[in-house]
Structure 1
Amino acid sequence: MPEAFVKGLNDNTRTKTIDLLNARLADVISLAMAVKQAHWNLRGAGFIGVHELLDDVADRLRESSDLIAERAVILGGIARGTTEVVAEQTTMAAYPVEEKELQIHVEALKERFLDVGEKVRAAIGEAGEMGEDDVEDLFTEVSRQIDKDAWFIGANSPVPAS
């Protein structure tokens, strides 16, 4: 294993933590690409507001992926974030690439944000069980941002009739 820049973690914990980081990295990168797919292609009422929101959301997801990837490297691992690895490793449902309708994009993104957010929250618990407090904290930060962006995106859904 390459040089780690932390002390106090055994090799088994570091390896498991790096694997956990890379698993969630694949999902966060996949989610960022889904956001950009919607950003480029959506049409309909409310277009400009959602279009601009999605650019900001994609930027935040890239920041989250940087945090995740850099922690894997700090622990002595390799960040596995190429398109080939992400396509193979993501657990996120495939995004509907032929879609144009704004509301369908909003719903598709909301579903994927909720799914990835749930997996990141599970990673919080896994990191905690391994005693990797820093990664637990990192995933908590990522989870909060994903949840907030799910809310921002979901707020563009039509309000159900009472």
Structure 2
Amino acid sequence: MNQSYDAVALWRAAGEARDPAAAVAALSPDITLTSPITEQFTFQGRSQVRTLLDVALAAIDEITYTDQVAEGRTVALFYEAQVGATRLYEAQRLRLGADNLISDITLYVRPLPALTLLMTRLGPELARRNGQPGLARLIPLASGAMHSMAVTGEQRIMPRAAPR
């Protein structure tokens, strides 16, 4: 029997349309999503992932999926997007459950300044939605400093080490 990738097609279309409700329809009820920012937490279940998608899809513009590679129940997706004026590239490892819905997602974002900018935009709103207003005020300070260092490294330091 051939593996169905209908849920993956739905996930892709929902991401490009920035439609969190449609994206959640592609997910198993027991979905696990591992953050690209930290392995210290994951999002469990449709409700937590929906909250993340609400915030993330409001912050990320012009999502365009460029590649899909599949083997059995594992699919790798790649997209390009914008976070403000910063270009973002994301790889997603999706695993399909027995119901052919997406049961596990692991996200990878590059370059580092895009990831740190995303953190400054998503972190405060996620903290507010989790009832942590104090943390919502702290995150921009911590992530802003990391973002500044990442941009400085990307624009001023690393170009000096580039192959010649």
Q: Quick check: TM above 0.5?
A: no
TM-score norm. by structure 1 comes to 0.29
Greater relative CO (CA pairs within 8 A, separation 6+): 1
Greater fraction of residues in helix: 1
